[in-house]
Homo-oligomer: A and B are copies of this chain.
């Protein structure tokens, strides 16, 4: 059996599954309701399979209403995945800082340009 974090990341590694989560973020829905907007692109068995992967990762929970059993988005696994990523935050902030520093050398901010122009004028 795969570890939880791997199950979560694997479940998210697919655009249709992320689309199903986005739909569930709007509110609970039965499998039929969930499937409706996707039926042009995917078959019902394909959608059911995607939902099973999301359920396996704990991202979707089928509530225990005997009549209706709607699907609900469960945020907790996303919290765990997000926490795992947080430990690398310094790396993405660093790479952003490097990009920003580079862009400043290519396109200096307006204030610096103006100061340069003023300095130029004084010399004249």
Which residues from chain A sit less than 8 Å from chain B, CB to CB? 2-3, 5-10, 12-15, 18, 21, 25, 73-76, 78-79, 81-82, 84-96
- Of all chain B residues, which has the CB nearest A2? B13
Inter-subunit contact B82/A78 (CB<8 Å): no
- In the bound complex, how far is the Cα of B14 from the Cα of A54, in angstroms? 17
What's the nearest-Cβ distance from chain B to residue A90, in Å?
Answer: 8
Inter-subunit contact A91/B25 (CB<8 Å): yes
- In the bound complex, how far is the Cα of B79 from the Cα of A86, in angstroms? 9
- In the bound complex, how far is the Cα of B18 from the Cα of A18, in angstroms? 22
Inter-subunit contact A96/B82 (CB<8 Å): no
Inter-subunit contact A73/B88 (CB<8 Å): yes
Contacts A81-B85, A93-B75; is A13 near B6 (CB within 8 Å)? yes
Q: Which residues of B contact A10 (CB under 8 A)?
A: 9-10, 13
What's the nearest-Cβ distance from chain B to residue A92, in Å?
Answer: 3
What's the nearest-Cβ distance from chain B to residue A64, in Å?
Answer: 16
